A and B are shown apart, each in its own frame.
Chain A
Amino acid sequence: MSRIAVAVLYAVAGAAAIGESQRPISQYSNDSPVTQLDQALLGIQTSNRYDLAKRVQVLADLAKAHDVLPLMLAKYDATPETEYSARRLALGIIGELRDERALDMLVKILSSKLPPDDNDSESLRTGARAKEETVHMKATHAVGYLRSAQSRRVLLNTMRDHESYTVRAEAVSAYMWNSTDQSVAAQELLRVLPDSLQPVVTMPIFDRGMDRAAFDKALAEWRKRWSREEY
């Protein structure tokens, strides 16, 4: 078969696979909630900027009709440890559901030990430890988004006790971003954090949609206060 023919064949197959995840929710209504949830998650995983809102709406409709959180917690537990992307997706959805019942499981994740150092001398962040770290980072996002007194305490514990500096820093960022009054939150954190984490508190966030002038101003202020050869 020519390369072009093979290309066309797989393009059609790929489109068909993506099309499956784009079926409207009504077509799944006879499926069990678990099956519907799986389809909705696959839809989000393969969504781009054009169809994201539509795919999220599918999940939102499902969440209105069913108690989705226990299903998501079970899904996270059942996902193989090495399926890092699927675990992050599950944690992301759990976080977006903003349900305090998830906190125990999130604390359990953040209290679990990371795998040993990857011994990857190039540090390309492709080993088990680096990948597991990204799961813990996602867990800090889910905790922070709860925006409750209890979740803030969990983040403070994570900043103090987590074995990874990267995760501790992510907890600082999640705490700050989810705080209503950021100047108060910053003062609070600067009082209790060790020197190594203090610079993270006021780091500006680079993101699509940011106010570029505000970003530049915040970055200039940060550099004035914290910039040095090494900290």
Chain B
Amino acid sequence: MVSRGVLIVGLMLLPLPLAAQSRICQIEQGRESDENARALLFSRHQCRASTIDLFRRLYNFNERHWDQGWGWDRCSANDSGFAFPRMVDAIYLIRNGIDQPNFGGWHDSVNYARVPTGQGRDASRRHSYRHEPQFTDKEMSNKAMTSHRGLLTTDRVEIKCDGFDMSPADIARALLHEAEHIINGSWHGTLHHRRSSRLCPDKECADRWHDHPVTDPSAPYAIRSTHSMYQIEAEFSCDISTFHADWVTWDVIEVAASTANSILTSNILNPPGWRCARPRPMHWPDGITLGDTGPTRPVSAR
């Protein structure tokens, strides 16, 4: 009979992630819209070694977390079933998706790109955390991503396997959201959402909005002031929808305005008082119509 102590020691000597090593986070492929978006993003970054190395370093992806079934070395247009290439797509969108020369949105790509980095350039907002993948334990959590920070905790954002099953734009805004949980947290933890009798009486689903001016096109507004989690999501989604770079295609931008407006109406305690993008059926520039369908309203403040 093996004593309990021997058994525990024996278990401790086993190579720990035995089960984990055999698991692969395989994400469903084939949704046409997602595949189009990924083909586009791949055609932009093409998994260049320098790009991948930069992303791994800046956003704290460690090989020991991402190499067992998460696609650490899988980065081609055909590998979108793996988690890591999806992170590359999302981060590329954060870093390059906003129009720079004609900028007029809430923030530019340079500023968004710094938010989920382990080493922000602005010392007052310096933080350091990892991005780690995790298999989803449905009984333990129904969150696609979670942020962790604390005295006895490794500061990190965990992306669950299910969390990769999102469009590149959705993963991008979720990464920004989780980053602000950590940035706004204190030494003993991340900042939590609030309950709201109006928005969510049964759970924490709401943030405060911290107002700042609209960017002056000549001097993009740096993300130095406090931004709540949903605020950064709403601003990024609206910027992707309205001030996206020329190469970004319709399937990437089309839902972004709805996402921004959903957040503004459902997750903000003190709404900033604006809505994102004209509520036209297709988010097309003025002058583009399907034949003689009458005049369209010009873009106006209301």
Contacts and interface: CB of A to CB of B under 8 A. Distances in A.
B293 interface: yes
Contacts of B255: 84-85, 88, 134
Secondary structure at the B interface, as helix, strand, loop or mixed, is loop
B42 interface: yes
B223 interface: no
B79 to A, nearest CB: 9
A215 B145 contact: no
A98 B292 CA distance: 10
Interface stretch (B110-118, B122-130, B270-278): B270-278
A63 interface: yes
A91 B281 contact: yes
B134 interface: no
A191 interface: no
Among A46, A200, A202: residue with most chain B CB under 10 A: A46
A39 to B, nearest CB: 13
Interface string A212-226: 101111110011001
B261 to A, nearest CB: 6
Interface residues of A, number: 98
Given A91-B281, A138-B258, A178-B297, A124 B290 contact: no
B261 A166 contact: yes
A48 interface: yes
B246 interface: yes
A120 B143 contact: yes
B104 A208 contact: yes
B231 interface: no
A64 interface: yes
Given A63-B290, A206-B242, A176 B302 contact: yes
Contact of A215 (B174, B196, B247, B301): B301
Contacts of B205: 123
Nearest to B196: A230
B293 A205 contact: no
B294 interface: yes
A183 to B, nearest CB: 10
A50 B278 CA distance: 21
Contact of B275 (A48, A165, A205): A205
Among A142, A144, A145, A199: residue with most chain B CB under 10 A: A145
Interface string A88-129: 110111111110000000000000000000011111111000
6 contacts: A3-B75, A11-B42, A89-B251, A123-B266, A176-B302, A199-B273
Interface of A: 3-4, 6-7, 9-11, 13-15, 17-18, 44-50, 52-53, 56, 59-60, 63-64, 82-86, 88-89, 91-98, 119-126, 130, 133-134, 137-138, 140-142, 144-145, 147, 165-166, 169-170, 173-174, 176-178, 182, 196, 199-200, 202-212, 214-219, 222-223, 226-231
Interface of B: 31-34, 36, 39-40, 42-43, 46-49, 75-78, 104, 141-146, 166-167, 170, 174, 177, 193, 196, 198, 200, 203-205, 214, 238, 242-243, 246-251, 254-255, 258-259, 261-263, 265-267, 269-271, 273-282, 284-286, 288-291, 293-294, 297-302
